[in-house]
Structure 1
Amino acid sequence: MSKGTILVTGANGGLGSAIVQNIISTPDLASNYAGIYAVRKAATAMTLQGVLRRAPLDHRHETVEIDLGSLASVRKTAADINARVAKGDLPKIRALILNAGYSDYANLDGRVLFVSSWSHDIDDPRNDVMMGAYKDTGYPTLFPGAEVLAKGQWSRPEDDPGINSGFRRYGASKLCAMMLCEELADRIAKDPKLNNISVVSLSPGTMPTSFGRRAGFLIGVVATRVIMPVLSEMSVRFSPNGMLRPSWKSAADVIRACFDIEAYKGEALHLDGTASLQIAKDAKDEAKRKELWEYGLGAAKMDEGDTALVEWT
């Protein structure tokens, strides 16, 4: 009997495809869990297709299309999966790995994992390598307000040309994910039916993937495809949770956090690879988290019955 379903978003990306590779290479996971691998377009998900061609015959899996930038697409996919679980056509979700974005799925009895980043913490010294993006006194916080961030009115390229403005926006997006992770964990802990779900965040480090493909030739090609693959394989031998890590290592950390760590209840668990991660002060700020949560409810047009969470408003 199947032990459940593993749903991975962004399954065609560097980390996502490595996570799928880890799943199909682990006999217990491949044989006992169904895989739902979400991508933007199945026909062009060549990396994922290449990985799945090596899947064992007894691994039940499918590729689903979802546009995480479209609320309509997210709602449709969630509704389809919920209906299949309710009918018994699909095992209950055991792990929801939010690798490319956040989508809210019910019918869950396991863990929700957010792929995070130390860049969410403006005080983390590792961010200093990004040419002082967080040292500009004009940007004292990564959370200037939910609406300002949602409408792209903060740290704009026209206000601060170069890579710093973009890195701040990336950090702000990760901070929002961490704030959501903390808020969701608090609400789940108080829920009489859902409090058996663990909420985890994991920072995978800097990996040599296609993540920086739009950064130009030096970063997008020379650095990520030539230099970083070699350095990451060397670095991980001496510092497993260092800044630079190969995607296979980070994928293994994700699976470990979903299946090998004892359930963490009552609060979110934050990991940096296999080590613990100190999260940003803003991620712990209840007022800011509430602002973000309420703005997200409005933006997503959430209504009664859209979630099984009791304290959702």
Structure 2
Amino acid sequence: MAKAGSILITGANGGLGSSIVSRVVSSGLGSRYHGIYTVRTPKGAEPVRASIEKCNRRRPQHTYDFVNLDLSSLDSTRACARDINGRVADGSLPRIRALVLNAGYQESTTLEFSDDGFDMTFQVNFLSHFLFTLMVLQSMDKEKGRVMVVGSWSHDDPRNKVGPVSEAFKGMDTLFSTTEALARGTWSTPQEDPTLCSGFRRYGASKLCELLFMHELAARLAKDPELSNITIAGLDPGAMSTGLLRRGSWFMTTIGAPLLRIGAVATTYFSPNGMFRTTDKSAADALRASFDVEGEKGKALYFNGSELCDTSAEARDEAKRGMLWTDSVGYAQIKAGDTALAHWQ
């Protein structure tokens, strides 16, 4: 049976990513849509592949491909996007109905840089997703396509002012001053602050960049005569116990993460859209935001779990959106012909 389109998920082998894949396969989406699941290395695909095949043995229905995408490399990002575009163009892959920008990276007391010279958190969470999205727009379903950004409350909302994370944002009115400071890792360094707060601030700033991009892309798509029906949504999935925490402190990785995993079951039951959630709950919310909610041209929808909400005022700041976009076009070396978006400059 011909598929209605493809679901493309970055970071498909991560905690949330693998839960989204499981939801796709076990739901009606699995039979209707082809899966394009990106992983950093072929080895990373095996647990997810085994899970898919277990479901397919009971009820063969879901076709899928794993593709290699290392978001710490702009060259890898370009190569992956070109491969997908080529396969959609020749008909071997269905057009992309939902692009889920899920892959993430978080540090605590370290500061790593990519071979491209960027802060790893900035590049993996934002810059490579920026490049990848602009390139694969040509392969989107131009009538029903949706880009879904996995955001985070760490980008700046009231939850940053309570609990153990409050120290990270104490006295701060903004996370974005210049793109260069975030891109080159000169803001919130471990040398300035050797605590866990330095890395968490950079993570929050990278998520802010994703949401600035989300709003700006929605506005630019609305003006595009060919792509204006593609809509944008974002999701705050809450705090989850996933591999994203593996670069945290000893306490977080050995004690905190298991406690969070257990506690999230109870907190999700009593407060489904509260601070702590299971990956299964957030996976359901991700697919709902990708498929079940009607989009609006020129406006990005943002959800806190299953509830429609607003991003921070900073994420909607038009001047910062424009600055980030212009700088990122330069960082990613985007040129004419790299994207189908008419107003990409």
- The TM tier, using the shorter chain, reads over 0.9
Structure 2 partner of 1:124? 158
287-296 or 209-218: which moved more? 209-218
Cα offset for 1:144? 1.8
Structure 2 partner of 1:25? 26
State the AA in 2 paired with 1:40. Answer: R
CA contact 2:150–2:236 (8 Å) conserved in 1 = yes
Structure 1 partner of 2:6? 5
Cα offset for 1:221? 2.1
Q: Which residue of 301, 307, 331 corresponds with 1:299?
A: 331
1:82 aligns with 2:115: no
Structure 2 partner of 1:256? 288
SS class of match (2:169): coil
Cα offset for 1:126? 4.1
> Structure 2 CA distance, aligned partners of 1:214 and 1:228?
16
SS class of match (1:271): strand
1:69 aligns with 2:102: no
Deviations 1:124-157 (A, max 9, x none): 234432142111x4x4320021011100000101
CA contact 2:295–2:301 (8 Å) conserved in 1 = no
Cα offset for 1:264? 2.7
Cα offset for 1:242? 0.4
155-164 or 99-108: which moved more? 99-108
1:286 aligns with 2:286: no
State the AA in 1 paired with 2:308. Answer: S
> Structure 2 CA distance, aligned partners of 1:188 and 1:127?
34
Deviations 1:212-258 (A, max 9, x none): 11213321121112x11221111111111000000000000001111
204-213 or 126-135: which moved more? 126-135
Cα offset for 1:45? 3.5
SS class of match (1:242): coil
Is the helix fraction higher in 1 or 2? 2
CA RMSD of superposed structures (Å): 1.3
Structure 2 partner of 1:50? 50
Cα offset for 1:13? 0.4
Cα offset for 1:266? 2.2
> Structure 2 CA distance, aligned partners of 1:292 and 1:84?
31
**Identity among equivalent pairs (%):** 46
State the AA in 2 paired with 1:278. Answer: D
Structure 1 unmatched runs, 5+ = none
CA contact 2:224–2:342 (8 Å) conserved in 1 = yes
The two structures have a TM-score, normalised by structure 2, of: 0.86
CA contact 2:232–2:299 (8 Å) conserved in 1 = yes
> Structure 2 CA distance, aligned partners of 1:192 and 1:124?
38
The two structures have a TM-score, normalised by structure 1, of: 0.95
Matches within 5 A, 1:26-175: 26=27, 28-56=28-56, 57-100=60-103, 101=125, 102=129, 103-104=132-133, 105-106=136-137, 107-109=139-141, 110-121=145-156, 123-129=157-163, 130-135=165-170, 137=171, 139-175=172-208
Deviations 1:140-186 (A, max 9, x none): 32002101110000010100110111111011000000000000000
| Greater than 4 Å deviation, 4+ residue runs | none
Structure 1 partner of 2:17? 16
Q: Which residue of 230, 245, 250 corresponds with 2:277?
A: 245
State the AA in 1 paired with 2:7. Answer: I
State the AA in 1 paired with 2:187. Answer: W
